[in-house]
Structure 1
Amino acid sequence: MAQIQESPAVTLDDVLAELLERRQEFRDQRYVSRDFVGRLKAAGVYRSATPERFGGRPLPPAEFLRMVERISVVDGSTGWVASFGSALVYLAALPVETQAELYADGPDVCFAGGLFPVQRAEPTASGFLVDGRWKFASGCMGADILGVGIPGDDTTAGKPRTALLRPEQVEIVQEWDVVGMKGTGSFDLVVDKVEVPREWTFIRGGEPTIDEPLYRYPTLAYASQVLAVVGAGVARAALDFATEVGSGRSGVTGAPKLADRAYYRTGLAEAEATMRSARAYFYEVTDEAWQTVLSGDPVAPHQNAHLRLASTHLAKTAAETVNRVIGLSGTGAIATSHPLQWLLGDALVPQQHAFLGPAMYDAAGAVLMGHPPTVPGFQ
């Protein structure tokens, strides 16, 4: 069993203060620097889903989600990268011996994956010959281990596998030109005929080999939650900005400051109420599902449906909130350099993710009425 390694005395507040100074750097270079990923590790982000038996400090989902939300208030891209600290729950499906090797140097492991499009991998005597190019590997520049998607087979019920590789086995192609989450480093991964042993592959959402509470929480629902809560942080930043600016700035025409205008006060208050309501629902169902896990019972299909529904609704509401704040903010908000334009792009991304798209409403509604989900990978 691994010895628990204490992180340096770095608090999340310390990390957020540094992030405030460096977020433009990450945006300009299009990725979060490896040394700052190290700071996130020191604050405990990347041991939050490592099994206790390997020295981790697995957090209750709501606690981890609140941490990601706080980071995202300062910078959505860094919150997005930090959110994949939860992705180690996927790796709990690896053989125990593989996990022991993975965490041999300590519990703070940063995992990033470019899982799609799934690429063919020829079976070998001991595993798979991996070859191809994958997209959207968020956080890959600071990762200790990388995953790529390969086809499943009869042993996986057709579900794709993820093959794990070390960074030196992968070429990172810095192709990432987007309007939002510019600093996530969601680059392409290229692998040139590398043999990956079967024991270094897993099924995303597969049966865990580690029996600890976090790995009994719905894996795919958690994956959607950590992304949705990034949007919530971005929306909070927009609301805070609008409140501060509205309280003290007059218009360029000499008109009354925004806080003296009824439409601004009303619109901002409605946006606060709407956003806080979606957030409350999100954390309410998270806590309910976690209490079910702690009681030793499986999370029921209707609870999983609420987790997916609350995540989709939060991401959608967050994007709408930032749009609404811009609508209230007058001509100044149209400038490309305006802070709200940064937040608008970042808020767009979570709701565009496949885990959080409009189809999730239909799937959740079906399950809540006792029917099978209408999309694959829902539970």
Structure 2
Amino acid sequence: MTGYGTSSALLEAARSWRPRLLAERDRSEALRRLPDALARDLAEAGFFGIFLPQAYGGVDLTPMQAMAVFEELARADASVAWCVWNGNTHWVTAQLPAETARTIHAAPAIITANSTRASGRARLVEGGYRVSGRWALVSGCHLASWLVLLAVVHDGDKPRLTAAGAPETRFMLVPASECRIIDTWTVSGLRGTGSHDVVVDDRFVPQGHTASFTDPYVLADPRYRIPPFSKVIPGLGAMALGIACNAIETLIEIASEKVPQRTSQSLRENHGAQLRVSQAESLVRSARLYLLDSLQQLWSALLDGRGVTMQARAQARLAASHAVANAAQAVDLMYGAAGATALYTTCPLERAFRDVHAITQHIGVNPRVMESTGRVLLGLESDTPLL
């Protein structure tokens, strides 16, 4: 993979991309997906290799380094950040047969899209599976060369059960050429992510192109044993904080020029606006510190061989939910402070309002998550394997 080999270089690259991302935002919204050239250039720069193992040509950043890049991209365009984040989930790459992983990522600038909704059926056949199904919300599906789709394994007409009695699921790696995209993404927030439905009609997937969270690890480094949802879900918080940073910057610009109706004072001299911008700034900064601290503690324990406790997992998930909630509150404060100016699509606050509230709808930060983390904090067993 060409591009940037260090975290600082990739973060600086994200900052240098800001003018182009701002210039292409309206086009992405009109297309309801990222333009092909933009996605290709992002991939060639290394952004879709943030979490890809070095063994397969990736940049292989730590979670903390990745959060900084996701946040920076979201300051310019949340849809770009979302597609980059979603293309970096790499849920089971460290558990795939090495030959399969090298085949998929052999060419530079490969983009994958995925769905963790087990809405497909994988029927056991000789040498692999016959896969059919329809998956919703497959962000960046138009950009991808491969689709990584979760399916329920069927032996004949019945789901195959795990030792715990639950239906067995596996990720199926399907070439994009064997999938159909159904245009469903007509939405308000994150409009440029192209999160359409994807259909697979009775396609053969070899056994070696499948994997599950419970498969043995092919890559031995402890860094690849980070719980997948502890690595991926915090990105939602980072992106939401990037949107909030942009909202604060926008309000500051507006406040320097706007004189609200029925007053002679500029908006920045208004006590209410001053209070709101202080509240928003403190919400963002405190949430960022908690998010990074929770990840740093989890990561250090993992690399030191101490193992990742359920408490550490709960803290990382709680920090992600907290960051999204704080960011949404900060954006709402800035939106309210700007008055009618924020209503216009030419105002970045209008887009920030739509995008941050779209992130709040992701299942990874659903309020139910905080019930699960609360159980752990109270000394009870987790009620979900997703922690």
Report the TM-score when normalising by structure 2: 0.90
Query: Structure 1 residues 159, 259: CA separation in 2 closer, same or farther (over 3 Å shift)?
Result: farther
1:149 and 2:150 aligned? yes
How many residues of Structure 1 are paired with residues of Structure 2 in the alignment?
Answer: 373
What's the Cα RMSD here?
2.1
What residue is the counterpart of 1:378 in the other structure? Answer: 386
Task: Report the alpha carbon displacement of residue 253 of structure 1 after superposing the two structures with TM.
Answer: 4.3
Task: Report the alpha carbon displacement of residue 70 of structure 1 after superposing the two structures with TM.
Answer: 0.3
1:76 and 2:78 aligned? yes
What residue is the counterpart of 1:286 in the other structure? Answer: 295
AA matched with 1:319: A
1:195 and 2:201 aligned? no
**1:314-361, CA deviations, whole angstroms, 9 ceiling, x for partnerless residues?**
111111111121122223223455321211110012221111110111
Aligned counterpart in structure 2 of residue 33 of structure 1, from 32, 35, 41: 35
What residue is the counterpart of 2:19 in the other structure? Answer: 17
**1:190-230, CA deviations, whole angstroms, 9 ceiling, x for partnerless residues?**
11110111221122475532122431222112221112211
Query: Structure 1 residues 334, 215: CA separation in 2 closer, same or farther (over 3 Å shift)?
Result: same
Q: Secondary structure at the match of 2:119?
A: coil
Q: Secondary structure at the match of 1:370?
A: coil
AA matched with 1:225: P
1:320 and 2:329 aligned? yes
Task: Report the alpha carbon displacement of residue 184 of structure 1 after superposing the two structures with TM.
Answer: 0.3
Q: Secondary structure at the match of 1:329?
A: helix
What residue is the counterpart of 2:356 in the other structure? Answer: 347
Q: Secondary structure at the match of 2:92?
A: helix
Query: Structure 1 residues 207, 246: CA separation in 2 closer, same or farther (over 3 Å shift)?
Result: farther
What residue is the counterpart of 1:329 in the other structure? Answer: 338
Report if aligned partners of 1:50, 1:57 keep a CA contact under 8 Å in 2: yes
Query: Structure 1 residues 242, 76: CA separation in 2 closer, same or farther (over 3 Å shift)?
Result: same
Distance 1:76 1:204 in 2: 29
Report the TM-score when normalising by structure 1: 0.92
**1:225-252, CA deviations, whole angstroms, 9 ceiling, x for partnerless residues?**
1122111111111111111211232224
**Uncovered stretches (5+) of structure 2, i.e. residues with no partner:** 154-159
What residue is the counterpart of 2:136 in the other structure? Answer: 135
What residue is the counterpart of 2:313 in the other structure? Answer: 304
Distance 1:261 1:92 in 2: 54
**1:32-78, CA deviations, whole angstroms, 9 ceiling, x for partnerless residues?**
12221222123221222222222322101111111011000001111
Deviates more, 1:148-157 or 1:277-286: 148-157
What residue is the counterpart of 1:237 in the other structure? Answer: 246
AA matched with 1:7: G
Query: Structure 1 residues 293, 90: CA separation in 2 closer, same or farther (over 3 Å shift)?
Result: same
Task: Report the alpha carbon displacement of residue 174 of structure 1 after superposing the two structures with TM.
Answer: 2.0
Distance 2:375 2:143 in 1: 39
AA matched with 2:359: P
Query: Structure 1 residues 200, 293: CA separation in 2 closer, same or farther (over 3 Å shift)?
Result: same
**Uncovered stretches (5+) of structure 1, i.e. residues with no partner:** none
**1:18-39, CA deviations, whole angstroms, 9 ceiling, x for partnerless residues?**
1111111111100012221222
Task: Report the alpha carbon displacement of residue 117 of structure 1 after superposing the two structures with TM.
Answer: 5.2
What residue is the counterpart of 2:157 in the other structure? Answer: none
1:360 and 2:361 aligned? no
1:90 and 2:86 aligned? no
Report if aligned partners of 2:81, 2:239 keep a CA contact under 8 Å in 1: yes
Distance 1:19 1:258 in 2: 29
Report if aligned partners of 1:89, 1:215 keep a CA contact under 8 Å in 2: no
